[in-house]
C-alpha cells in the first residue's frame, strides 16, 4: 500500500514513517506534507493509494484536505489519524468522504490492519469511538437520550458538562475521560456555543437551569 502522510508536525510524520517502516511487505510511505497545497501536489505526483491525515493542520482543516484530495483523485482513500476522539469529528470526516477515522493511540500492527481493510474497500473507525457511537445509536433507537441531547449536545459534550457541574478542572475532566486537555477544550468550546454561553460558570448555570443533571 502506497501511503502519504499529512500532518503539520514533522515529528509526527517522522514517527509514523518509522512505525510503518517495520512493515515493508505491506506499506510503503511515499512522502509527507504539512498543508493543503503540499498534500494536493504530493497526491498528484506520488500517486498514493491511502492518505493518512491529521484532523487539524496549522493553516487549514483536515476536512478541507480530504475534500480537495477526493476532488482531484477520487480513487484515493483518506484516513484521519488524530488525537480527537469526538463522535462529531467522526461524523464530519465520514461526510467529507473519509474511509477511516483513527486516534493516535493506535499501535503499529493495528494501524497496518486498518490500512489493509481500507485498501480492501472497508470503512474503519477507532474501536473505542465506534463503541461509543454504537451505544449512542442504540439509546436513540430505543427513545433514550443523554442529558443535553435536546439542546444539541453530543454524548461526550454532555459527559464533559456533567463533570464541569461537578466542579472538575480541565485536567480533572481529561483524566476522568482519558482524553487530552486539548480535547476537553474542544468539547468545552462546542458546548459553550450550543448553550450560548461564554464561560464555565455560565455553562454550569445553564445546565442547572435546564435541569440537565440532578
Domains and CATH numbers, the chain: 2-129 (3.40.50.2300), 145-209 (1.10.10.10)
Residue ranges of alpha helices (H) inside 6-52 are 10-20, 36-46
Rounded Cα distance, 131 and 133, in Å: 5
Rounded Cα distance, 126 and 82, in Å: 10
Q: What is the pLDDT of residue 91?
A: 81
Count of C-beta atoms within a 10 Å radius of residue 25: 6
Q: Which residue carries 441531547 as its cell?
A: 149
Q: What is the pLDDT along the chain (214 residues), one digit of tens a residue?
A: 999 999 999 999 999 999 999 999 999 999 999 999 999 999 999 999 999 999 988 888 899 999 999 999 999 999 999 988 777 788 888 889 999 999 888 999 999 999 999 999 999 999 887 776 766 666 555 555 778 877 888 888 988 999 998 889 999 999 988 888 899 999 999 999 999 999 998 999 888 888 887 6
Q: What is the pLDDT of residue 149?
A: 79
How many residues are there in the chain? 214
Rounded Cα distance, 203 and 167, in Å: 12
Rounded Cα distance, 1 and 119, in Å: 7
Residues of 145-158 as b/e, b for ≥16 C-beta within 10 angstroms? ebbbbebebbbbbb
Q: What is the pLDDT of residue 85?
A: 78
Contact 193, 152 (CB under 8 A): no
Amino acid at each position: 500500500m502506497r501511503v502519504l502522510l499529512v500532518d503539520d508536525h514533522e515529528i509526527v510524520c517522522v514517527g509514523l514513517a518509522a512505525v510503518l517502516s517495520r512493515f515493508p511487505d505491506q506499506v510503503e510511505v511515499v512522502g509527507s506534507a504539512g498543508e493543503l497545497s503540499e498534500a494536493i501536489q504530493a497526491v498528484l505526483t506520488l500517486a498514493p493509494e491511502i492518505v493518512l491525515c491529521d484532523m487539524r493542520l496549522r493553516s487549514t482543516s483536515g476536512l478541507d484536505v480530504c475534500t480537495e484530495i477526493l476532488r482531484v483523485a477520487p480513487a484515493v482513500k483518506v484516513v484521519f489519524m488524530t488525537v480527537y476522539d469526538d463522535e462529531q469529528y467522526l461524523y464530519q470526516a465520514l461526510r467529507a468522504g473519509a474511509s477511516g477515522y483513527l486516534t493516535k493511540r493506535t499501535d503499529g500492527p493495528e494501524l497496518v490492519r486498518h490500512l489493509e481493510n481500507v485498501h480492501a474497500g472497508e470503512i474503519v473507525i477507532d474501536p473505542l469511538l465506534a463503541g461509543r457511537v454504537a451505544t449512542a445509536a442504540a439509546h436513540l433507537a430505543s427513545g433514550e437520550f443523554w442529558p443535553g441531547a435536546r439542546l444539541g449536545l453530543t454524548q461526550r459534550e454532555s459527559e464533559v458538562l456533567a463533570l464541569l457541574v461537578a466542579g472538575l478542572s480541565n485536567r480533572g475532566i481529561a483524566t476522568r475521560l482519558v482524553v487530552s486537555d486539548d480535547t476537553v477544550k474542544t468539547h468545552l468550546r462546542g458546548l459553550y456555543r450550543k448553550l450560548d454561553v461564554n464561560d464555565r460558570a455560565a455553562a454550569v448555570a445553564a445546565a442547572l437551569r435546564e435541569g440537565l443533571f440532578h
